[in-house]
C-alpha cells in the first residue's frame, strides 16, 4: 500500500495518484520532445515515426507545413505535461486542473481506441503509425485515469 501525503497545496492525496500523473506527464513531455526531434532531424525521423509519405516528402523539400503541424502537437503535449505535473502537486496547478486533466485523459483514451475511425480520414499514415501512436496514447491515458481516480475519485 502506498503512503498518503500532502501536496504543495496542503491537500491529502494518494501517492499512487501523484505518481501516475507524474509518469503520465513525463510521457507527454517525452512525446513532445520526440515531436521536436522530428523537426530537428527532418524527413528520416518523420519516416521512422510512421508519418505519411506526403509529410515525409514535404519535410524533405523543406516545406514549413510538417514542422508547423509537429510544433503545434509538441506544444499541446507540453501543456498537457504541465497539467499532469500540476495535478500531481509537483508544480503549482494550472487553471482548471481537474477539468483539464479529465479532458486530457478522455482525449488520450479516445485517440487510443478511435484508430479504426481515424484511419480513413488520414489514409496516408502508416499502419506502424496507427499501432504505435494508439498504444502510446492508451498507456498515457491510463496513467492519467489512475491519477484522476486516485486523487479525486473522478470519472
Q: What is the pLDDT of residues 59-117, one digit of tens each?
A: 999 999 999 999 999 999 999 999 999 999 999 999 999 999 999 999 999 999 999 99
With bands split at pLDDT 50, 70 and 90, how would you rate the model's confidence at 124?
confident
User: What are the C-alpha distances in Å from 149 to residues 56, 61, 129?
Assistant: 40, 46, 30
pLDDT band, very low/low/confident/very high, at 136 (cuts 50, 70, 90): very high
Closest CA to 80 of 67, 88, 64: 88
Cα–Cα dist 98/114, whole Å: 24
Domains in the chain: boundaries: 14-152
At 90 the three-state DSSP class reads coil
For the chain, the average pLDDT equals 90
* 101: Cβ contacts below 8 Å, ≥ 6 apart: 21, 83, 84, 87, 144, 147, 148, 154
The single residue listed with the C-alpha cell 488520414 is 122
Q: What is the DSSP string of 76-110?
A: HHHHHHHHHHHHHTSSPPPTTHHHHHHHHHHHHHH
Amino acid at each position: 500500500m502506498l503512503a498518503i501525503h500532502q501536496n504543495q497545496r496542503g491537500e491529502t492525496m494518494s501517492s499512487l495518484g501523484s505518481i501516475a500523473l507524474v509518469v503520465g506527464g513525463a510521457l507527454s513531455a517525452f512525446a513532445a520532445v520526440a515531436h521536436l526531434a522530428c523537426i530537428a532531424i527532418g524527413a528520416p525521423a518523420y519516416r521512422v515515426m510512421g508519418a505519411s509519405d506526403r509529410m515525409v516528402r514535404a519535410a524533405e523539400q523543406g516545406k514549413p507545413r510538417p514542422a508547423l503541424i509537429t510544433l503545434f502537437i509538441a506544444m499541446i503535449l507540453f501543456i498537457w505535461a504541465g497539467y499532469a505535473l500540476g495535478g500531481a502537486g509537483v508544480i503549482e496547478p494550472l487553471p482548471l486542473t481537474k477539468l483539464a486533466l479529465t479532458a486530457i485523459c478522455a482525449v488520450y483514451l479516445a485517440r487510443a481506441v478511435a484508430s479504426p475511425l481515424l484511419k480513413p480520414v488520414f489514409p496516408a499514415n502508416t499502419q506502424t503509425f496507427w499501432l504505435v501512436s494508439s498504444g502510446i496514447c492508451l498507456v498515457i491515458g491510463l496513467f492519467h485515469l489512475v491519477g484522476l481516480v486516485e486523487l479525486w475519485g473522478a470519472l
